[in-house]
Amino acid sequence: QKEVEQDPGPLSVPEGAIVSLNCTYSNSAFQYFMWYRQYSRKGPELLMYTYSSGNKEDGRFTAQVDKSSKYISLFIRDSQPSDSATYLCATLGSGGFKTIFGAGTRLFVKA
């Protein structure tokens, strides 16, 4: 079993839609949860991170962690064509500094 599972998609939505991206993880000891965004032919960039459970909001983006079900979510409100990218969920693994990534979900937002 992979430590972080993520559906690779692709996911295609119309402009303005609410997007929900999800991951599950296997180890209940994980505490840091991150979302990276990767545009085509670029390196990933950190979008948001949360520590332990709860929600974190940044503009149109909300990250949510449910530790009871080992579920990580990213919500994008009022999606824009510029949001078209691959979104990778991640967590800090054993030792607290190795980042473990999900497969990434490719998102297309159509104008």
Partner 1 sequence: NAGVTQTPKFQVLKTGQSMTLQCAQDMNHEYMSWYRQDPGMGLRLIHYSVGAGITDQGEVPNGYNVSRSTTEDFPLRLLSAAPSQTSVYFCASSYIGRGREKLFFGSGTQLSVL
Binding residues (CB under 8 A) for partner 1: these are: 4, 6, 8, 32, 34, 36, 41-46, 49, 51, 88, 92, 96-104
Would you say 17 and 69 are in contact if contact means Cβ atoms under 8 Å apart? no
Instruction: Say how many C-beta atoms besides its own lie within 10 A of residue 53's C-beta.
Output: 12
For residue 77, the minimal CB distance to partner 1 (Å) is 24
Residue 57 or 78 having the CB closest to partner 1: 57
DSSP state of 97: T
Shorter beta-carbon distance to partner 1: residue 100 or 109: 100
Closest distance to partner 1 from the beta carbon of 48 (Å): 10
Q: What is the phi/psi pair of residue 43, to 5°? A: -80, 155
